Amino acid sequence: MGEITKDNTLIVMAGDGRFPYKAYVSEGFKTVLAYKQTGSFTRILREVCFRLPLLPKTVWYNSEIKRYAPLYIYVRDAIITRKYLLWLQKLFPEALICFSYENMVGKARHLKPDQIPEGIRVWTYDSYDSEKYGIRLKKSFTYFQSCVKKSSEKKYDLLFVGKDKGRGDWLKKMEKYLNDNGLKTRFLITKDGKYAKEKPYYEKPVSYDQITDWLAESRAVLNIGMENQTGITIRDIESYYNRIKLVTTNVCVKDTEIYDVHNTFLLKDDNWADLVGFLKQEYVPSAEVSWEGHTIEDGLREVFA
C-alpha cells in the first residue's frame, strides 16, 4: 500500500449527528454514512430488520459509497454490523479496512471483536480492552483542529457534558459542593437512552459546536471514566488542545503528554476539598501544545501502517 491521502481514504460512520462526521468533512476527508438516513419510524423498522435473520439488510445500506474507489477504509464502530462489514469487503476487495472501537467494547451495540470478519484490522483506544480482547491499541491520541476555538471570557470554573451512566446523582452532589464553595460550574447531564427513566436534572443533548463554545469559556473540563477504562478520552484531549485544566478520574493520563502536574487534578471520592483549591488557581502556561503526531492524518497512518 502507498501513501495515505484524503483522496484515497474513506471514513465510514453510522450517523451524521455526532461531531466527528462534521469534523471529518470540514477537514476535507471523504466521509460516508453507512446507512440511509431515515426518520424515527423507519429507524425502528431498520432495527427490527437487522435483528431478524431472514429479513434483507442491504436495502438499508447507503449506496453513495459505491461512488468511491478507496484504498483505505476507516470504519467507526457505532451500530456497524458484521453483515455490513462483509458487504464492504465484497464491494472493495482490494481495500484495506480498519474497524475502530470509539467506546469500550462492552458498550458496543452490535459487534464484539470475535464477530468482526477476518481480514479487517481491529483497533481500540483503551489498553484494558486491548489486553482483554487481543486487539490493536492506538498509541497516539488524535483530535480535529477545526474543533478548537479561540479562548474567550471565562464563565465557568468547571465544565462537564455527558450521559448519566449511573453517575448522575454523584455528579450533582459534587456540583453542589463546588457551587457552595464559590465556584461556577456548567454540568450538562443527559439520560442514557431514549427510554431511560427521567431524572429532574436531565437536559437535552447539545451539538458539539455548543460544547466547543463552552470549552472556550471554561477554566477546566471534567472527565469521569467508565469502570476499567484506561484509555485517553475526548475530554482529556479537549483539555490539552484548549489549554485549560483537566479534572479526571483517569489515572493513566499521568503516562501521557496531556498530563501536567500544575494543570491536572486526579479526582477521587474523598478529595473534593483539594479540588476546590485546584480550581481556584490559575492555569499555568506550559510548553507549546503540539499537533505533531496527533492530526487525523497521523491517526490514519498509525492504523493502516
pLDDT tens figures, 236-254: 999 999 999 999 998 889 9
Predicted local confidence at residue 40, as pLDDT: 63
Tell me whether residue 249 is exposed, middle or buried, using C-beta atoms within 10 angstroms of its C-beta: 0 to 12, 13 to 18, 19 or more. Answer: middle
Question: Does residue 161 sit in the same domain as residue 255?
Answer: yes
Predicted local confidence at residue 108, as pLDDT: 66
Does residue 297 form part of some domain?
no
Question: Does residue 191 sit in the same domain as residue 127?
Answer: no
Domain boundary among 85, 116, 138: 138
As a whole number, mean pLDDT of residues 84-92 equals 96
Band (pLDDT 50/70/90 cuts) for residue 187 is: very high
Question: Does residue 92 sit in the same domain as residue 206?
Answer: no
Does residue 292 form part of some domain?
no
Does residue 288 form part of some domain?
no
Residue whose C-alpha cell is 431498520:
46
As a whole number, mean pLDDT of residues 258-280 equals 94
Predicted local confidence at residue 252, as pLDDT: 87
Does residue 59 form part of some domain?
yes
Q: Which of 60, 118, 64 is nearest to 89 (CA)?
A: 118
Question: Does residue 26 sit in the same domain as residue 151?
Answer: no
Domain boundary among 138, 172, 206: 138
Question: Does residue 221 sit in the same domain as residue 203?
Answer: yes
Domain boundary among 109, 138, 167: 138
Contacts of 282 (CB under 8 A, 6+ apart): none
Question: Does residue 126 sit in the same domain as residue 16?
Answer: yes
Question: Does residue 105 sit in the same domain as residue 153?
Answer: no
Quote the domain boundaries for residue 21.
Answer: 9-138
Rounded CA-CA distance 256/13 in Å is: 28
Does residue 2 form part of some domain?
no
Question: Does residue 261 sit in the same domain as residue 167?
Answer: yes
Band (pLDDT 50/70/90 cuts) for residue 39 is: low
Predicted local confidence at residue 99, as pLDDT: 96
Average confidence score pLDDT of the chain? 89
Question: Does residue 134 sit in the same domain as residue 179?
Answer: no
Q: Which of 81-85, 122-126, 181-185, 188-192 has the highest mean pLDDT?
A: 181-185
Question: Does residue 171 sit in the same domain as residue 132?
Answer: no
Rounded CA-CA distance 272/63 in Å is: 52
Does residue 301 form part of some domain?
no
Percent of the chain with pLDDT over 70: 92
Predicted local confidence at residue 177, as pLDDT: 97
Question: Does residue 198 sit in the same domain as residue 164?
Answer: yes
Output the domain CATH number for residue 198: 3.40.50.2000
**Cα radius of gyration rounded to whole Å, the chain:** 20
Output the domain CATH number for residue 15: 3.40.50
Whether pLDDT at 17 is above 70: no
**Terminal CA-CA length for the chain:** 9
Does residue 296 form part of some domain?
no
As a whole number, mean pLDDT of residues 279-292 equals 86
Whether pLDDT at 72 is above 80: yes
Whether pLDDT at 41 is above 60: no
* pLDDT tens, residue by residue, 112-151: 999 999 999 999 988 889 999 999 999 888 899 889 999 8
Q: CB–CB of 168/188 below 8 Å?
A: no
Question: Does residue 276 sit in the same domain as residue 158?
Answer: yes
Predicted local confidence at residue 77, as pLDDT: 82
Provide the domain count of the chain: 2
Does residue 290 form part of some domain?
no
- Cα–Cα distance list, 70 to 14, 65, 81 (Å): 18, 10, 20
Whether pLDDT at 100 is above 70: yes
